[in-house]
Structure 1
Amino acid sequence: MAKIRPKIKLAKTKAEWLWDVAGYSIYIGSIIILIYNWGELPAEVPAHYNALGEVDRWGSKMELLILPVIGAFLAVFMQIIERFPETHNYPDRLNEENAEKFYLQSRKMINSSKNICLIIFSLVLYESISIALGWWNGFGAWFMPVMLLSVFIPIIAGIMKQRKIR
């Protein structure tokens, strides 16, 4: 029989607020850059990058709209998940005494992951705009490993912190 988890109202931490301000500001900034430069963009823009950060497919500038749309969907979806930490996956040792700690740690992990994803989508959008307009050649080979590390480090750190909760 499944345990009923307590619903606990937890205030956002300063770190969560900072992540939200950073993630949403950079995301909105990238959309503003896209709108501002839309008329200057050529018909074909970078549409895909290989692991070395080189453009390996060019596509219509309409494809640039995919990144903000996916970012918006991701932000809304993860914001909803963030609001209901009692529905997250926890170990069997979760109980009434430690639920608040588990919920807070899980919510912080979701929050940072959401905002890192928004920042990554924004950077890829900016990179595509920049390459299309001839401003620069892109991030290069280091972007993929840094991006992957930035996504997985908060998740791994969050899981390690949850392991210490008794």
Structure 2
Amino acid sequence: MSNPYRPELKLSKTKLERIFDLVGIGVFLLSLIFALINWPQLPDKIPGHFNALGEVDRWGSKYEIIILPIIGLFIFTLMTFFEKAPHMHNYPKRLNESNVEQFYLNSRMILNMTKNSCLIIFGLLIVQVIRVAKGEIESLGGWVSSNVPFTSIYSVNFRFI
């Protein structure tokens, strides 16, 4: 089996990628600020897990909320690394010199949208967990179970519309 054609190209971020980064990072940072502001008012027990309907099915220590930003930052870091290395992504055999740049841009855009969608979802989840813990709302509602698959499908199909 021969080595596939995978040149390392230096492609600058598109305007749309920069906008998505700004929105994703902005929502995530705002949720962290919200968490820090509300930390003193949080009860000792906060929601630790939700079922598919968004109802709390396990309560845990308020320190468990720290897991969400850690996972969000890990996903952000890992996806940012792969976003900067489109030559490492998987491509069809029809990749060649004439279309490599467009393939790289499309692949990077999908990864960028997925990365920022994850940041937004984790940011909203942090806010909602705090709101449930403080008694402002009773559950997450159905938005998590309906929006996570939608966001994943949308980010992949966005480039083909």
- TM norm. shorter chain > 0.5: yes
Partner of 1:58: 59
Q: Is the 8 A contact 2:42 2:133 kept in 1?
A: yes
Q: CA RMSD in A?
A: 1.3
| CA offset digits 1:105-139 (Å, max 9, x no partner) | 00000000000001001111111000111222343
Q: Is the 8 A contact 1:67 1:125 kept in 2?
A: yes
Gaps of 5+ in 2: none
Gaps of 5+ in 1: 162-166
* TM-score scaled by length of structure 2: 0.94
Work out the percentage of aligned pairs sharing the same amino acid: 43
Please give the alpha-carbon distance, in whole angstroms, between the structure 2 residues aligned to 1:76 and 1:40: 30
Question: What amino acid sits opposite 2:48 in the alignment?
Answer: A
| CA offset digits 1:57-116 (Å, max 9, x no partner) | 111111100000000011010000000001100000001110000000000000000000
How many residues end up aligned between the 2 structures?
A: 160
Please give the alpha-carbon distance, in whole angstroms, between the structure 2 residues aligned to 1:113 and 1:97: 26
SS in 2 for 1:73: helix
Partner of 1:164: none
Please give the alpha-carbon distance, in whole angstroms, between the structure 2 residues aligned to 1:152 and 1:117: 13
Q: Is the 8 A contact 1:85 1:103 kept in 2?
A: yes
Greater Cα offset, 133-142 or 21-30: 133-142
* TM-score scaled by length of structure 1: 0.91
SS in 1 for 2:46: strand
Partner of 2:3: 2
